[in-house]
Amino acid sequence: MRVLGLIYAPGFLSNGPVHTALLVGGGAAVVCAVVGVFTVMRGQAFAGHALADVSSAGGSASFLLGLNPLVGFLGMAALAAGAMEWADVRDARERDLLTGVMLGAGLGLTALFLYFASVTGSATGAAITVLFGSMFTIPASIVPAALAVAGVALAVIAAIYRPLLVSAVSEDLAQAQGTRVRRIGLAHGWALALAVSLSAMTVGAILSTALLIGPAAAGLRLADRPGRSLALAVLIGLLATWGGILLAYDSYDWTPGHGWPVSFFIVVLVFIAYLLAALLARVRARGVSLRAVHPSGCGQD
Protein backbone atom coordinates (compact mmCIF):
# COMPACT_ATOMS: atom_id res chain seq x y z
CA MET A 1 0.00 0.00 0.00
CA ARG A 2 2.84 2.40 0.79
CA VAL A 3 4.35 1.84 -2.65
CA LEU A 4 0.95 2.46 -4.23
CA GLY A 5 0.77 5.75 -2.38
CA LEU A 6 3.74 6.98 -4.39
CA ILE A 7 1.96 6.23 -7.66
CA TYR A 8 -1.34 7.85 -6.94
CA ALA A 9 -2.15 11.20 -5.47
CA PRO A 10 -4.14 11.04 -2.23
CA GLY A 11 -7.90 10.72 -2.43
CA PHE A 12 -8.00 8.72 -5.65
CA LEU A 13 -10.28 5.98 -4.40
CA SER A 14 -12.51 8.24 -2.33
CA ASN A 15 -13.26 10.57 -5.23
CA GLY A 16 -16.82 10.48 -6.63
CA PRO A 17 -16.08 11.21 -10.30
CA VAL A 18 -13.23 8.67 -10.20
CA HIS A 19 -15.62 5.98 -8.91
CA THR A 20 -18.02 6.59 -11.77
CA ALA A 21 -15.19 6.66 -14.31
CA LEU A 22 -13.72 3.41 -12.97
CA LEU A 23 -17.09 1.63 -13.15
CA VAL A 24 -18.32 2.91 -16.51
CA GLY A 25 -14.83 2.84 -18.04
CA GLY A 26 -14.18 -0.66 -16.70
CA GLY A 27 -17.48 -1.91 -18.14
CA ALA A 28 -16.73 -0.33 -21.50
CA ALA A 29 -13.20 -1.79 -21.51
CA VAL A 30 -14.36 -5.35 -20.81
CA VAL A 31 -17.15 -5.29 -23.39
CA CYS A 32 -14.96 -3.62 -26.01
CA ALA A 33 -12.19 -6.15 -25.48
CA VAL A 34 -14.54 -9.15 -25.79
CA VAL A 35 -16.52 -7.85 -28.76
CA GLY A 36 -13.36 -6.37 -30.27
CA VAL A 37 -11.64 -9.76 -30.51
CA PHE A 38 -14.43 -11.00 -32.82
CA THR A 39 -14.56 -7.69 -34.68
CA VAL A 40 -10.83 -7.90 -35.41
CA MET A 41 -11.10 -11.60 -36.39
CA ARG A 42 -13.94 -10.76 -38.77
CA GLY A 43 -11.91 -7.92 -40.26
CA GLN A 44 -14.51 -5.31 -39.30
CA ALA A 45 -12.32 -2.82 -37.46
CA PHE A 46 -13.30 -0.05 -39.87
CA ALA A 47 -16.98 -0.84 -39.42
CA GLY A 48 -16.44 -0.55 -35.67
CA HIS A 49 -14.95 2.89 -36.10
CA ALA A 50 -17.77 3.95 -38.41
CA LEU A 51 -20.37 2.80 -35.90
CA ALA A 52 -18.73 4.96 -33.26
CA ASP A 53 -18.78 8.00 -35.52
CA VAL A 54 -22.41 7.41 -36.44
CA SER A 55 -23.27 6.93 -32.78
CA SER A 56 -21.86 10.42 -32.10
CA ALA A 57 -24.87 11.76 -34.02
CA GLY A 58 -27.04 10.10 -31.37
CA GLY A 59 -24.84 11.50 -28.60
CA SER A 60 -25.19 15.03 -29.94
CA ALA A 61 -28.92 14.56 -30.52
CA SER A 62 -29.33 13.60 -26.88
CA PHE A 63 -27.48 16.80 -25.96
CA LEU A 64 -29.92 18.72 -28.12
CA LEU A 65 -33.01 16.99 -26.70
CA GLY A 66 -31.76 16.72 -23.15
CA LEU A 67 -31.86 12.93 -23.09
CA ASN A 68 -29.59 10.51 -21.29
CA PRO A 69 -26.48 10.40 -23.54
CA LEU A 70 -26.38 6.59 -23.40
CA VAL A 71 -29.81 6.45 -25.07
CA GLY A 72 -28.64 8.59 -27.97
CA PHE A 73 -25.33 6.80 -28.57
CA LEU A 74 -26.99 3.42 -28.29
CA GLY A 75 -29.98 4.14 -30.49
CA MET A 76 -27.93 5.53 -33.32
CA ALA A 77 -25.28 2.78 -33.17
CA ALA A 78 -27.94 0.04 -33.16
CA LEU A 79 -29.67 1.63 -36.16
CA ALA A 80 -26.41 1.86 -38.08
CA ALA A 81 -25.38 -1.70 -37.20
CA GLY A 82 -28.75 -2.98 -38.38
CA ALA A 83 -28.47 -1.01 -41.61
CA MET A 84 -24.96 -2.31 -42.29
CA GLU A 85 -25.93 -5.93 -41.78
CA TRP A 86 -29.15 -5.45 -43.71
CA ALA A 87 -27.28 -4.07 -46.71
CA ASP A 88 -25.30 -7.34 -46.57
CA VAL A 89 -22.49 -6.34 -48.89
CA ARG A 90 -20.04 -9.24 -49.27
CA ASP A 91 -17.44 -7.63 -51.47
CA ALA A 92 -14.77 -6.23 -49.16
CA ARG A 93 -14.12 -3.11 -51.24
CA GLU A 94 -17.79 -2.30 -51.61
CA ARG A 95 -18.21 -2.85 -47.87
CA ASP A 96 -15.42 -0.40 -47.06
CA LEU A 97 -17.01 2.20 -49.30
CA LEU A 98 -20.44 1.78 -47.73
CA THR A 99 -18.89 2.01 -44.27
CA GLY A 100 -16.96 5.14 -45.19
CA VAL A 101 -20.02 6.88 -46.61
CA MET A 102 -22.05 6.03 -43.50
CA LEU A 103 -19.27 7.35 -41.31
CA GLY A 104 -19.32 10.65 -43.16
CA ALA A 105 -23.10 10.93 -42.97
CA GLY A 106 -22.99 10.19 -39.23
CA LEU A 107 -20.41 12.88 -38.49
CA GLY A 108 -22.34 15.30 -40.69
CA LEU A 109 -25.44 14.75 -38.57
CA THR A 110 -23.29 15.27 -35.48
CA ALA A 111 -22.18 18.65 -36.81
CA LEU A 112 -25.81 19.62 -37.50
CA PHE A 113 -27.11 18.54 -34.08
CA LEU A 114 -24.25 20.26 -32.27
CA TYR A 115 -24.98 23.45 -34.20
CA PHE A 116 -28.68 23.30 -33.28
CA ALA A 117 -27.73 22.58 -29.69
CA SER A 118 -25.53 25.68 -29.52
CA VAL A 119 -28.12 28.04 -31.04
CA THR A 120 -31.14 26.80 -29.09
CA GLY A 121 -29.66 26.35 -25.65
CA SER A 122 -26.55 26.04 -23.63
CA ALA A 123 -24.30 23.42 -25.20
CA THR A 124 -21.03 24.23 -23.53
CA GLY A 125 -18.42 21.60 -24.24
CA ALA A 126 -20.89 19.35 -26.07
CA ALA A 127 -18.56 18.91 -29.04
CA ILE A 128 -15.60 17.91 -26.88
CA THR A 129 -17.70 15.58 -24.76
CA VAL A 130 -19.24 13.82 -27.74
CA LEU A 131 -16.12 13.54 -29.87
CA PHE A 132 -13.33 13.16 -27.29
CA GLY A 133 -15.13 11.99 -24.18
CA SER A 134 -15.29 13.52 -20.74
CA MET A 135 -15.10 10.65 -18.31
CA PHE A 136 -15.10 12.69 -15.13
CA THR A 137 -18.34 14.44 -16.04
CA ILE A 138 -20.36 11.25 -16.48
CA PRO A 139 -23.23 11.52 -13.98
CA ALA A 140 -23.19 8.77 -11.37
CA SER A 141 -26.84 8.04 -12.21
CA ILE A 142 -25.74 6.48 -15.52
CA VAL A 143 -23.68 3.72 -13.86
CA PRO A 144 -26.46 1.10 -13.51
CA ALA A 145 -27.68 1.61 -17.09
CA ALA A 146 -24.13 1.48 -18.47
CA LEU A 147 -23.32 -1.71 -16.57
CA ALA A 148 -26.62 -3.24 -17.72
CA VAL A 149 -25.73 -2.46 -21.34
CA ALA A 150 -22.34 -4.05 -20.78
CA GLY A 151 -24.01 -7.12 -19.31
CA VAL A 152 -26.39 -7.46 -22.27
CA ALA A 153 -23.51 -7.23 -24.76
CA LEU A 154 -21.54 -9.90 -22.90
CA ALA A 155 -24.64 -12.12 -22.73
CA VAL A 156 -25.18 -11.80 -26.47
CA ILE A 157 -21.57 -12.82 -27.15
CA ALA A 158 -21.79 -15.72 -24.67
CA ALA A 159 -24.99 -16.99 -26.29
CA ILE A 160 -23.48 -17.14 -29.76
CA TYR A 161 -19.89 -17.80 -28.74
CA ARG A 162 -19.30 -21.06 -30.65
CA PRO A 163 -20.92 -20.22 -34.00
CA LEU A 164 -19.54 -16.66 -33.82
CA LEU A 165 -16.05 -18.03 -33.40
CA VAL A 166 -16.41 -20.52 -36.27
CA SER A 167 -17.89 -17.96 -38.64
CA ALA A 168 -15.14 -15.49 -37.70
CA VAL A 169 -12.54 -18.05 -38.75
CA SER A 170 -14.38 -19.21 -41.87
CA GLU A 171 -17.88 -18.32 -42.99
CA ASP A 172 -17.98 -21.35 -45.31
CA LEU A 173 -17.13 -23.72 -42.51
CA ALA A 174 -19.81 -22.17 -40.34
CA GLN A 175 -22.35 -22.50 -43.12
CA ALA A 176 -21.36 -26.12 -43.66
CA GLN A 177 -22.01 -26.70 -39.95
CA GLY A 178 -25.52 -25.37 -40.39
CA THR A 179 -24.94 -21.96 -38.77
CA ARG A 180 -27.15 -19.10 -39.94
CA VAL A 181 -24.27 -16.81 -40.75
CA ARG A 182 -26.37 -13.73 -41.35
CA ARG A 183 -28.11 -14.00 -38.02
CA ILE A 184 -24.79 -14.39 -36.26
CA GLY A 185 -23.52 -11.36 -38.18
CA LEU A 186 -26.49 -9.30 -37.07
CA ALA A 187 -26.13 -10.38 -33.44
CA HIS A 188 -22.43 -9.51 -33.56
CA GLY A 189 -23.32 -6.16 -35.15
CA TRP A 190 -25.64 -5.31 -32.29
CA ALA A 191 -23.16 -6.41 -29.66
CA LEU A 192 -20.67 -4.18 -31.48
CA ALA A 193 -23.15 -1.31 -31.34
CA LEU A 194 -23.52 -1.77 -27.57
CA ALA A 195 -19.74 -1.90 -27.09
CA VAL A 196 -19.10 1.10 -29.29
CA SER A 197 -21.75 3.28 -27.66
CA LEU A 198 -20.30 2.52 -24.23
CA SER A 199 -16.79 3.42 -25.33
CA ALA A 200 -18.02 6.47 -27.25
CA MET A 201 -19.53 7.71 -24.01
CA THR A 202 -16.30 7.18 -22.08
CA VAL A 203 -13.41 8.04 -24.42
CA GLY A 204 -15.47 9.81 -27.07
CA ALA A 205 -16.72 8.76 -30.49
CA ILE A 206 -13.50 9.47 -32.36
CA LEU A 207 -11.23 7.70 -29.88
CA SER A 208 -13.51 4.77 -29.15
CA THR A 209 -11.93 2.64 -31.88
CA ALA A 210 -8.75 2.55 -29.83
CA LEU A 211 -10.54 0.83 -26.97
CA LEU A 212 -12.38 -1.50 -29.33
CA ILE A 213 -9.57 -2.85 -31.48
CA GLY A 214 -6.35 -2.03 -29.57
CA PRO A 215 -6.65 -4.49 -26.65
CA ALA A 216 -8.28 -7.09 -28.95
CA ALA A 217 -5.49 -6.88 -31.50
CA ALA A 218 -2.86 -7.11 -28.77
CA GLY A 219 -4.63 -10.11 -27.23
CA LEU A 220 -4.79 -11.87 -30.60
CA ARG A 221 -1.09 -11.22 -31.16
CA LEU A 222 -0.10 -12.66 -27.81
CA ALA A 223 -2.13 -15.87 -27.77
CA ASP A 224 -3.25 -18.44 -30.32
CA ARG A 225 -6.24 -19.84 -28.48
CA PRO A 226 -9.34 -17.65 -28.64
CA GLY A 227 -10.12 -18.04 -24.94
CA ARG A 228 -6.67 -16.85 -23.98
CA SER A 229 -6.81 -13.97 -26.48
CA LEU A 230 -10.10 -12.88 -24.95
CA ALA A 231 -8.73 -12.99 -21.42
CA LEU A 232 -5.61 -11.05 -22.42
CA ALA A 233 -7.66 -8.45 -24.32
CA VAL A 234 -9.89 -7.90 -21.29
CA LEU A 235 -6.84 -7.57 -19.05
CA ILE A 236 -5.14 -5.08 -21.38
CA GLY A 237 -8.34 -3.07 -21.85
CA LEU A 238 -8.93 -2.82 -18.12
CA LEU A 239 -5.30 -1.93 -17.37
CA ALA A 240 -5.27 0.77 -20.05
CA THR A 241 -8.57 2.27 -18.91
CA TRP A 242 -7.95 2.20 -15.18
CA GLY A 243 -4.31 3.18 -15.67
CA GLY A 244 -5.45 6.08 -17.83
CA ILE A 245 -7.87 7.26 -15.16
CA LEU A 246 -5.13 7.03 -12.54
CA LEU A 247 -2.66 8.97 -14.70
CA ALA A 248 -5.27 11.63 -15.49
CA TYR A 249 -5.87 11.99 -11.77
CA ASP A 250 -2.15 12.29 -11.10
CA SER A 251 -1.65 14.76 -13.94
CA TYR A 252 -3.48 17.37 -11.84
CA ASP A 253 -0.14 17.95 -10.10
CA TRP A 254 1.93 17.98 -13.28
CA THR A 255 0.72 21.26 -14.73
CA PRO A 256 -0.56 24.05 -12.51
CA GLY A 257 -4.30 24.36 -12.28
CA HIS A 258 -5.63 21.58 -14.47
CA GLY A 259 -5.38 17.88 -15.24
CA TRP A 260 -4.78 16.29 -18.64
CA PRO A 261 -7.65 14.67 -20.53
CA VAL A 262 -8.25 11.10 -19.46
CA SER A 263 -9.02 9.93 -23.02
CA PHE A 264 -5.47 10.81 -24.03
CA PHE A 265 -3.92 8.56 -21.40
CA ILE A 266 -6.19 5.65 -22.25
CA VAL A 267 -5.45 5.65 -25.96
CA VAL A 268 -1.72 6.09 -25.33
CA LEU A 269 -1.70 3.11 -22.96
CA VAL A 270 -3.63 1.06 -25.53
CA PHE A 271 -1.09 2.03 -28.16
CA ILE A 272 1.85 1.06 -25.93
CA ALA A 273 0.19 -2.27 -25.10
CA TYR A 274 -0.25 -3.00 -28.79
CA LEU A 275 3.38 -2.10 -29.55
CA LEU A 276 4.65 -4.33 -26.73
CA ALA A 277 2.43 -7.19 -27.89
CA ALA A 278 3.68 -6.87 -31.46
CA LEU A 279 7.27 -6.81 -30.23
CA LEU A 280 6.73 -9.82 -27.98
CA ALA A 281 5.03 -11.74 -30.77
CA ARG A 282 7.97 -11.06 -33.08
CA VAL A 283 10.52 -12.16 -30.48
CA ARG A 284 8.53 -15.34 -29.91
CA ALA A 285 8.21 -16.01 -33.62
CA ARG A 286 11.99 -15.75 -33.93
CA GLY A 287 12.38 -18.19 -31.04
CA VAL A 288 10.08 -20.64 -32.79
CA SER A 289 11.92 -20.36 -36.10
CA LEU A 290 15.28 -20.86 -34.33
CA ARG A 291 13.90 -23.96 -32.73
CA ALA A 292 12.71 -25.14 -36.09
CA VAL A 293 16.25 -24.85 -37.46
CA HIS A 294 17.82 -26.60 -34.47
CA PRO A 295 15.35 -29.31 -33.51
CA SER A 296 17.60 -30.34 -30.63
CA GLY A 297 17.38 -26.85 -29.10
CA CYS A 298 16.66 -26.60 -25.44
CA GLY A 299 14.09 -23.81 -25.73
CA GLN A 300 10.96 -24.93 -23.99
CA ASP A 301 8.64 -22.25 -22.66
Partner 1 sequence: MLRRFIVLLVLSVAATVSGCGHTPRDTTLNAVGIENQYADVIAQVAGPRVRVRAIETDPDTDPHEFEASPAIARRLATASLIVENGVGYDPWVDRILAASPGPRTVINVGRLLGLPGTANPHVWYDPRTMPAVAEAVATALSAERPAEAAGFQSRARAFVASLAPWKEALESFKRHYGGTAVAVTEPVADDLLEAAGCTILSPYSLQTAIMNGTDPAPQDVAAEEALLREHKVKVLLYNRQVTNPLTASFVDLARRNGIAVVGVYETMPVGYHYRSWMLAEMSALEQAVSRGISTTRLEERAPRP
Nearer to partner 1, 23 or 157 (CB): 23
Nearer to partner 1, 36 or 69 (CB): 69
Q: How far is CA 175 from CA 38, 71, 89, 166, 170, in A?
A: 17, 35, 17, 9, 9
| Residue 98 neighbours by CB under 8 Å, 6+ apart | 84, 87, 89
Nearer to partner 1, 161 or 264 (CB): 264
DSSP code, position 179: -
What's the min distance (Å) between Cβ of 234 and partner 1?
25
What's the min distance (Å) between Cβ of 263 and partner 1?
8
| Residue 268 neighbours by CB under 8 Å, 6+ apart | 244
- Helix 69-87 / helix 181-203 crossing angle, nearest 10 deg: 150
Question: Where do contacts with partner 1 occur on this chain (CB under 8 A)?
Answer: 9, 11, 15-18, 21, 69, 111, 115, 118-129, 134-139, 248-249, 252, 257-259, 261-263
| Residue 31 neighbours by CB under 8 Å, 6+ apart | 149, 150, 153, 154, 194, 195, 198, 199
What's the min distance (Å) between Cβ of 20 and partner 1?
9
What's the min distance (Å) between Cβ of 69 and partner 1?
8
Nearer to partner 1, 118 or 175 (CB): 118
What's the min distance (Å) between Cβ of 10 and partner 1?
10
Nearer to partner 1, 215 or 261 (CB): 261
Distance between CA 31 and CA 37 in Å, rounded? 10
Nearer to partner 1, 48 or 204 (CB): 204
| Contact (CB, 8 A) for 160 and 188 | yes
Residue in 115, 122, 127 with CA at minimum distance from that of residue 56: 127
What's the min distance (Å) between Cβ of 22 and partner 1?
11
